A and B are shown apart, each in its own frame.
Chain A
C-alpha cells in the first residue's frame, strides 16, 4: 500500500508525519533541528529518501541538512567531524556567496532598500529548496537576499545562477516586510530548461535555458502599493503553483489578487472571482485535476488571519473565478492563524490529499480533495512550510 510522508518546517524545528494510503492514522517524528527555524524541507523526486532541509537562526545563520534515509538520520553535507586541521571536508554546505563580475570583482548589482537607497546584496537564509527532477544530488536554493543557487554535489557546495540578479532589473527589487526573498522555484517537467521563480518584492521570472538567462513575467499584474501599478518589476508575488502535466498554466497568489497565466507567465489574468478576500499566501493545484486549485484567503495585508475567525480553504474546479468554501473539520470560530506561502501541498493518491500548516501549529489534512479536513497535529510550533511525498 502507498504511504504518505509530510515534511513540516516550523519556527522551532522540523517534523515528519507519516501515514499509509488511507491517511487516517499518523505517526509523528521529530522535532529535528530543535530550536532552529526550518524554513523548508523537500524530498527529491528522483530518490524520495533524499531530503534536503534549510535550518536557520538569527544567532547562528544558515545550515543545510541532508537525509539519505527518508528523514531518519541527517547530516550537514561536508560537515563531518575531522581529526586534524588539514582534514576533509570543508564545511561549505552553508556557504552562499553571491557572484561578482569577473571584470571588476565588484558586486554584480545592488537593490533598492527600504529607504530608497541602493543596498548591496547580503545573504540571510534559504527560504526554499527545490531538488532536481532527475538527479538526487542536484538541488536549487532560493535565498534572501533574493538569488538562486544550485548545488550539483548533494549540497556540499553552491554556485549562484547569477543571470537572474544580473539581467538588469536588480536595482529595482526591494524587500517586502518579510525580507527580499526568492521563495518559489518551479521546474518544468516537459521543457527541462524552463524554470520559474518568484521574489518578494520583485515579481515572477522565467528562464528557458536552465537558469542562465532570465526575464520578468509580470504582465497583467496590478499592484496598487507600488508607484506604477503595472510596472515590470516590484510586485509582491506570494506563491506560484503549476500542475506538472500543464506547465504553461500557472496559478499565482499575489499580495492581493489570485492570478492565472495560460502562456508560461507571458501574461496574467485575475481569477479572484467570488473569493471573500483575495489576499493570501498559499496556492496549490490538485494532483489529478489541473483546473482544481486551492487557496486560503486571509483578511488583509495587515490582518494576517482568516475572515471572521473562520478558517476556510477555497477550492475552484474551474481554474479560478468560481470558488467554493471548504469548511468541514476546520475551525469556524475564534481562529486567527495564518497559512504561510510554502505551507500547503498535495499528495498524488486517489483521492488527492491536501495538506496545510498554520502559524498556530496545526497541520490539517484532507484525504478527499478538500471536502473534509482533520488535524494531523494541533500543537506544533508555528508552521512555516509543508511538503508531501507520496511513496510506493
Chain B
C-alpha cells in the first residue's frame, strides 16, 4: 500500500481527507504513483503534472524519506520505505505568500 499526502487544495478538489492509499502493481515510481492517483481521482489530472507534457507542475515538489525527489526521473524507483508503506510520498506546494 502506497501512502500519498496531497496539498490541502488538492485534497479538497479530490474530496479526500488525510492520506490517500493506493495499490500499485509493478514497480513503484513517481509515474506509476501519479498514474494510479489520477486514475482513481480523475479531477486531479493536470493539477500535479501537465495534461500534455506530463511534466511536474513547477510550483509542486515531491518529497519522501526527508529527500527531495522532484528532479528524479519519473521512472526511477521510489525508496523502499515508500514502497512498503512505512513512509508517505508527499506532494508539496511551494511556499509563497505576501
Q: Are A85 and B39 in contact (CB under 8 A)?
A: yes
A80 CB contacts on chain B under 8 angstroms: 42-43
Of B36, B39, B43, most A-chain CB atoms within 10 Å:
B43
Q: Are B51 and A95 in contact (CB under 8 A)?
A: yes
Given contacts A85-B39, A97-B51, contact A90 B45 (CB under 8 A): yes
B-contact 0/1 string along A22-36, CB 8 Å cutoff: 000000000000111
Q: How distant is the Cα of A35 from the Cα of B96 in the complex, in angstroms? A: 13
Q: Are B9 and A94 in contact (CB under 8 A)?
A: no
Q: How distant is the Cα of A95 from the Cα of B59 in the complex, in angstroms? A: 19
The number of A-B residue pairs with CB atoms under 8 Å apart is 85
Within 8 A of A (CB), among B36-56: 36, 38-48, 50-52
Within 8 A of B (CB), among A67-87: 76, 78-87
Q: How distant is the Cα of A36 from the Cα of B13 in the complex, in angstroms? A: 11
Q: Are B42 and A61 in contact (CB under 8 A)?
A: no
B59 CB contacts on chain A under 8 angstroms: 58-59
Chain A nearest CB, measured from B12 CB (Å)? 7
Of A84, A87, A90, A91, most B-chain CB atoms within 10 Å:
A91
Q: How distant is the Cα of A94 from the Cα of B45 in the complex, in angstroms? A: 8
B74 interfacial contact with A, CB 8 Å? no
Q: How distant is the Cα of A57 from the Cα of B13 in the complex, in angstroms? A: 12
Q: Which of B39, B40, B52, B57 contacts A60 (CB 8 A)?
A: B57
Chain B nearest CB, measured from A5 CB (Å)? 24
Q: How distant is the Cα of A34 from the Cα of B9 in the complex, in angstroms? A: 8
Which residue of chain A lies nearest to B39 when distances are taken between CB atoms in the complex?
A85
Q: Are A91 and B42 in contact (CB under 8 A)?
A: yes
Q: Are B60 and A59 in contact (CB under 8 A)?
A: yes
Q: Are B13 and A76 in contact (CB under 8 A)?
A: yes
Q: Are B46 and A62 in contact (CB under 8 A)?
A: yes
Q: Are A81 and B48 in contact (CB under 8 A)?
A: no
Q: Which of A62, A82, A96 contacts B40 (CB 8 A)?
A: A82
A62 CB contacts on chain B under 8 angstroms: 46
Chain B nearest CB, measured from A80 CB (Å)? 7
New contact pairs (20) apart from A35-B9, A36-B9, A91-B44, CB-CB < 8 Å: A34-B12, A57-B9, A59-B7, A59-B9, A59-B93, A60-B9, A60-B93, A61-B57, A76-B43, A81-B43, A82-B39, A82-B42, A85-B35, A85-B36, A85-B40, A90-B42, A90-B45, A94-B46, A95-B45, A97-B51
29 residue pairs of the A-B complex, CB under 8 angstroms, read A58-B59, A59-B7, A60-B10, A60-B60, A61-B47, A61-B50, A61-B57, A63-B13, A63-B43, A63-B46, A76-B42, A76-B43, A79-B41, A81-B15, A81-B40, A82-B41, A82-B42, A83-B40, A85-B35, A87-B39, A87-B40, A91-B38, A91-B41, A91-B44, A92-B45, A95-B45, A95-B46, A95-B52, A96-B51
Minimum-distance CB pairs A-B, first 3: A91-B42, A79-B43, A91-B45
